[in-house]
């Protein structure tokens, strides 16, 4: 699972340790192996200072977010009692607030098999959207997903919002709503050189 999500070796090692130290504890009796692994990976990410969210853990493991959260809380207490402490963070929201759209962009694009050209374009769109305040108040995950949706369309990839939603862990409706705001501000968010070079075309973009 760690390798599938390109997590560094220190996270893999920490997750293995967290799992090994807690999976036989009676307080976790009845929990599925998948939920234990998901909680161990989330603990390891936090312990190693590598930003990940419950939504990303859900996408990776297919374990419901609430189940990951419940298992994590039990596991965290067990590990804290053993002197193993994660990096400070008290909720999924605080974890998300520490994560930027740029942090998520390359991971999502890699998992979607998108080219470096589309990845860079999505990063530019997300960066400009932040500076313009186009998607102010929306989560970094929503911003990244919507930027990818727009960039992939402009460069002729024709990626469905549902496919991005599966990878990003947000709803298709959330992506399309955020995309509408990007579309309204589109002239301020893109690089004109993309169009002058004939690489991008507004006609390819998803309809609003």
Residues 86 and 111 in one domain: no
Task: Examine the fold and report which residue of 38, 67, 96 is the final residue of a domain before the chain moves on.
Answer: 96
Residues 64 and 127 in one domain: no
Is 28 domain-assigned?
yes
DSSP helix/strand/coil, 208: coil
Q: What tokens appear for 133 in the block?
A: 């305040």
Residues 120 and 154 in one domain: yes
Task: Examine the fold and report which residue of 96, 121, 148 is the final residue of a domain before the chain moves on.
Answer: 96
Q: With a threshold of 0.85, does the pTM exceed it?
A: no
Task: Examine the fold and report which residue of 96, 124, 145 is the final residue of a domain before the chain moves on.
Answer: 96
Render pLDDT for 139-150 as a digit per residue (tens, 0 to 9).
Answer: 788 899 999 999
Residues 158-173, mean pLDDT to the nearest whole number? 87
Residues 110 and 145 in one domain: yes
Provide the 8-state DSSP code for 201.
-
Q: What tokens appear for 124 in the block?
A: 């530019």
Residues 81 and 148 in one domain: no
> CATH number for the domain including 22?
1.10.472.170
User: What is the C-alpha to C-alpha distance for residues 38 and 60, in angstroms, rounded to an integer?
Assistant: 8
- Domain range enclosing 43: 9-96
Confidence band of 166 (pLDDT split at 50, 70, 90)? confident
Task: Domain count for the chain, please give it.
Answer: 2
Render pLDDT for 12-51 as a digit per residue (tens, 0 to 9).
Answer: 888 998 999 898 888 998 899 999 999 999 888 887 777 6
User: What is the C-alpha to C-alpha distance for residues 47 and 53, in angstroms, rounded to an integer?
Assistant: 13
Residues 104 and 75 in one domain: no
> CATH number for the domain including 148?
1.10.472.10
User: What is the C-alpha to C-alpha distance for residues 137 and 97, in angstroms, rounded to an integer?
Assistant: 11
Residues 200 and 107 in one domain: yes
Residues 27 and 52 in one domain: yes
User: What is the C-alpha to C-alpha distance for residues 172 and 165, in angstroms, rounded to an integer?
Assistant: 5
Residues 90 and 106 in one domain: no
Is 25 domain-assigned?
yes
Is 92 domain-assigned?
yes
Residues in contact with 4: Cβ distance below 8 Å, sequence separation at least 6, in sequence order = 60
Residues 77 and 110 in one domain: no
Phi then psi dihedrals of residue 47, to 5 deg? -60, -35
User: What is the C-alpha to C-alpha distance for residues 48 and 52, in angstroms, rounded to an integer?
Assistant: 11
Residues 88 and 123 in one domain: no
For 42, counting Cβ atoms within 10 Å of its Cβ (0-12 exposed, 13-18 middle, 19+ buried), the class is buried
Is 4 domain-assigned?
no
């Amino acid at each position: 699972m760690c390798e599938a999500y390109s997590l560094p070796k220190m996270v893999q090692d920490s997750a293995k340790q967290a799992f090994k130290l807690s999976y036989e504890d009676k307080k976790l009796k009845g929990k599925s192996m998948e939920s234990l692994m998901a909680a161990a990976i989330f603990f390891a990410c936090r312990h190693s200072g590598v930003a990940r969210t419950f939504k990303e853990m859900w996408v990776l493991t297919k374990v419901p977010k609430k189940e990951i959260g419940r298992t994590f809380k039990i596991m965290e207490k067990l590990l804290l009692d053993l002197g193993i402490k994660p990096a400070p963070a008290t909720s999924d929201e605080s974890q998300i607030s520490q994560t930027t759209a740029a942090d998520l962009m390359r991971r999502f694009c890699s998992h979607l098999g998108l080219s470096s050209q589309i990845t860079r374009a999505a990063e530019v769109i997300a960066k400009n959207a932040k500076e313009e305040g186009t998607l102010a108040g929306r989560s970094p995950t929503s911003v990244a997903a919507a930027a990818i949706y727009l960039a992939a369309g402009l460069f002729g990839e024709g990626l469905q919002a549902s496919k991005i939603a599966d990878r990003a862990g947000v709803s298709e409706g959330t992506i399309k709503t955020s995309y509408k705001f990007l579309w309204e501000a589109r002239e301020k968010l893109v690089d004109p050189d993309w169009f002058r070079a004939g690489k991008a075309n507004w006609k390819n973009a998803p309809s609003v």
